[in-house]
Chains A and B, each alone.
Chain A
Amino acid sequence: MRIPILKLHDCLLISIQWELDDQTALQFQEDLLRKIHETSARGVVIDLTSIDFIDSFIAKVLGDVISMSKLMGAKVVITGIQPAVAITLIELGIRLEDVLTALDLEKGLEKLRRELED
């Protein structure tokens, strides 16, 4: 299964709807970078509302894809991190530092708009 990537003006929207296995996570990384390249997207929102846990592997893939997107000139906002996910990530010792976050997809898009205007 591939994670669908939607285009909205100059932004890409991704809502991860099911549990990520390793292959799907890596495929997503590749697909997103290709899509940024193809569409010249300047911003990306990744919504994790449906994700109920993140382990160190998925955290690394996410962190990497954020850095890679930045290299390509696109800003990434992560939205919808559940309380249980936030708690376990910090306990795991993973600090997704200087990652832009927002409560939900709508606020994520607003934040991205503001970031892109600066």
Chain B
Amino acid sequence: MDSCVKITNEWDIVAARQLGRNVAKDLGFGTVDQARITTAISELARNIYLYAGQGQVCIEKTENAGKVGLIILSEDQGPGIQDLRKAMEDGFSTSGGLGAGLPGVKRLVDEFAIDSTPGEGTLIKAIKWLR
């Protein structure tokens, strides 16, 4: 199982979160975790659409020491994030948004890693483990 959605417009955001919800359901995540996963994907996909113009979101299953998890990979070759520390602060937004996306996603998932280089792009990996 390894599926990606290319993000180029608003409808792709819907497609990405529907894919995520379906995979989460198939893996046996409960309704609250399904909502967490769907919300996290929506935030990451919208950030790609808003700030990078295009990119992709991939949903993968992972296993570690008998534990099953869902990986969300968000990838773009956009402008990158100038000040990562600021971007991770609640309320920081360069677009008049709530600035809830990135710090929120970090709280919604179990593992969160972000790698962004100005001028090159942004790669975010988030994992939610099945309990």
Contact surface of A with B, Cβ cutoff 8 Å: 19, 21-23, 52-57, 59-60, 82-85, 87-88, 91-94
Bound Cα distance A115, B14 (Å): 36
CB distance from A103 to the nearest CB of B (A): 18
Distance between Cα atoms of A88 and B90 in the complex (Å): 15
Excluding A88-B39, A88-B108, A93-B104, 19 further A-B contacts by CB distance (< 8 Å) are A22-B10, A22-B13, A52-B34, A53-B38, A53-B39, A55-B43, A56-B43, A56-B98, A56-B100, A56-B101, A56-B104, A57-B46, A84-B32, A87-B32, A91-B107, A92-B100, A93-B90, A94-B98, A94-B100
A-B contacts counted at CB < 8 A amount to 73
**Residue ranges of B at the interface with A (Cβ–Cβ < 8 Å):** 10-11, 13-14, 17-18, 31-32, 34-36, 38-39, 42-43, 46, 90, 97-98, 100-101, 103-104, 107-108
Interface of A is mostly: helix
Q: Give the shortest distance, in Å, between A52 (CB) and chain B (any CB).
A: 6
When the two chains form their complex, are residues A21 and B11 in contact, meaning their CB atoms are under 8 A apart? yes
Asked whether A60 lies within 8 Å of B108 as measured between CB atoms, the reply is no
- For A55, the chain B residues whose CB sits under 8 A away are 39, 42-43, 46
